[in-house]
Amino acid sequence: MKRTTKRWRASVGAAMAGFGLVAVTALTAQAAGSTLHEAASDQGRYYGTALAQHKLGDSQYTTIADTEFGMITAENEMKLDATEPQQGQFNFSAGDTIVNWALEHGKQVRGHTLAWHSQQPSWMQNMEGSQLRQAMLNHVTQVASHYRGKIYAWDVVNEAFEDGSSGARRNSNLQRTGDDWIEAAFYAAREADPDAKLCYNDYNTDNIQHAKTQAVYNMVRDFKSRGVPIDCVGFQAHFNSGNPVPNNYHETLQAFADLGVDVQITELDIEGWGDSQAEQFSGVTQACLAVSRCTGITVWGVRDSDSWRADGTPLLFDGNGQKKAAYYAVLDMLNSGEGDGGGGETPPPASGEGCTATYSEGEKWNDRFNGTVTVTADESVSSWTATVTVGSSQQIIATWNGSPTWDSSGKVMTMRPNGDGTLAAGQSTSFGFTVMHGGDWSWPSVSCSAA
C-alpha cells in the first residue's frame, strides 16, 4: 500500500530529474503531509480519534492525539449515562473536560451520542412509553444546548436497527415509544444546536447489499424526502476477520452520499496486525477519499492498548505508542489522494524516455474497475513500451489495444503496441485493462519508454 505515494513521488522525481535535486525535493515535500491530520486536511478531510477523559494525564497519549488528529470524540463521556445520571440532573464535567481539551488544542469535536438503547442511565432503562419519549427529547435538548456551537457533528441517534436479514428497527425501549422517535430526536437536536451537522450512526452498515444497510438507507432517503433535518450518516466501521471491510465499501458510502448527506467513518478499528491490517486500513481510507461527501475518518482510540477491543490490536499505534504498518498505510493513502472526488490532486503523468504515460479511471463495478493508459510521444518514436503495476490484492484480468507480457509476480504488466508502434511527436495512443481490485481501489502506477 505504501507503493502508491512512493511511486508517485518517484515518478515526480523522474519527471523532474533534468531540473536537479533541489526542485525534486521541494516538490516531494509539498506533496506529503507528515501527520494524519495534515495529510487528511490536504484532502479536505479530517482524521480523528476517540479520547477517554481518564487518560488525559498520560502524556504519550495526549501527544499522539495532539499531533496526529484533528477531530475528537468522547469515547464514553457524552453518552446518556454520563450526562444525565439522575433524571433531570445533568453532569457535563467529564464531557466538558474532553471538549475543552479538544478546543484548546485546535481540534473539532464530534458529539457522541444523544439517543441510544445502550449505556442508558438506570432510570431511563426502566422507562417506557410517552414518559420515556419526553425524557429522551429533554435529554437531546439539554445536552445539545449545553454544547451548542462547539460540535461539528452529533451522532443524534445511535444503532437503531437490528442486525441480520430483517431490516427491522432494533426492539428497544426507545423504539417502543413509536417509529417516529428517531426523527423526533433529530428535530429536537436541530432546534438545540442549529449549526451542528446531525448524523445517524450505526455499525454493520458497510455493505450496501445487506438488509441492515438498506434499511438505514431507506430511512435516510425517507428523511430527506420529508425534510427531516439529517445531514450525515456515520459508519462505525468496527471490522474483524468475521466482519471484514467489504469490497464495495466506497459504493456504500457513495450510495448514501447520493441521498444528499455527508458520510463519516466514525469509530474505525480493524482487528489484526501487519500488512493485512495495513491494507484494510488503506482500503477504508481510499473508500472515503473516493467519495467527495466523505468528510472524515475517526479511529476508535489512540493506541492498541486504549481500544475497547485491545486484544484485537485494532488501531494505528501499538501499546508503546509506536506507529504501526497500518499507520503508514493510512498516511500514504491520504497523501496519494487517490480516487478523490474531494479536492485531491491527480498524480502527474509519468514521463520516461521519449514518451509520457497517463492513467485515467474508467468504469467501476463491485469487484473490478477499468483503466486506460494514454501514451504520448514527446518526439517522433518508432515504438514504445508501457508498464502498469497493480497492488498486491489487485489482478489485471483483461486488456485491449495492446500486447501484454507479465513479470513473475503477475503484478507488473508490460504493454507493447499491437502492430505498428510508430508515433509522431505529440501523437497519442491508448490501451485499456480491467483490474479485479480485491478491496484495493488504488490506481495502478504507470510508466513508459520509447525507441
Interaction of residue 236 with ligand XIL, rule CB under 6 A: yes
SS3 content of the chain, % helix, strand, coil (to 5): 35, 25, 40
159 is catalytic: yes
The distance of closest approach from Cβ of residue 160 to ligand XIL in the complex, given in angstroms and rounded to an integer, is 12
Interaction of residue 447 with ligand XIL, rule CB under 6 A: no
> Closer to ligand XIL at the Cβ: 3 or 110?
110
Which of 53, 83, 158, 429 is the binder for ligand XIL (CB under 6 A)? 158
Interaction of residue 308 with ligand XIL, rule CB under 6 A: yes
Compute the radius of gyration of the chain from its Cα atoms.
24
Q: Which of 84, 267, 271, 279 is flagged as catalytic?
A: 267
* Site size for ligand XIL (CB under 6 A): 6
Residue nearest to ligand XIL according to CB distances in the complex: 308
The distance of closest approach from Cβ of residue 199 to ligand XIL in the complex, given in angstroms and rounded to an integer, is 11
The distance of closest approach from Cβ of residue 297 to ligand XIL in the complex, given in angstroms and rounded to an integer, is 15
The distance of closest approach from Cβ of residue 236 to ligand XIL in the complex, given in angstroms and rounded to an integer, is 5
Window 253-272: residues binding ligand XIL (CB under 6 A): 267
The pair phi, psi for residue 412, each rounded to 5°, is -115, 115
Q: Which of helix, strand or coil describes residue 269?
A: strand
Sorted by sequence, the CB contacts under 8 Å of residue 288 that are 6+ apart come out as 45, 250, 253, 263, 265, 294, 296, 297
Interaction of residue 310 with ligand XIL, rule CB under 6 A: no
Nearest Cα neighbor of 353 from 429, 444, 447 is 447
Which residues, listed in sequence order, are joined to residue 74 by a DSSP beta bridge? 51
CA distance 267 to 234: 9
Grid cell in block for residue 85: 445520571
128 is catalytic: no
Question: Residue type at 356?
Answer: T
Dihedral sign of CA atoms 279, 76, 47, 142 in order: positive
Name the pairing type of β-strands 238-239 and 232-235. unpaired
> Closer to ligand XIL at the Cβ: 31 or 64?
64
Which of 4, 5, 53, 76 is the binder for ligand XIL (CB under 6 A)? 76
Question: What H or E segment, with its residue span, contains residue 251?
Answer: helix 249-257
Question: What H or E segment, with its residue span, contains residue 253?
Answer: helix 249-257
Interaction of residue 340 with ligand XIL, rule CB under 6 A: no
The distance of closest approach from Cβ of residue 105 to ligand XIL in the complex, given in angstroms and rounded to an integer, is 21
Q: Which of 68, 84, 159, 338 is flagged as catalytic?
A: 159
Distance of CA 436 to the CA centre of its chain: 21
> Closer to ligand XIL at the Cβ: 158 or 286?
158
Interface with ligand XIL (CB under 6 A) = 75-76, 158, 236, 267, 308
Q: Which residues are catalytic?
A: 159, 267
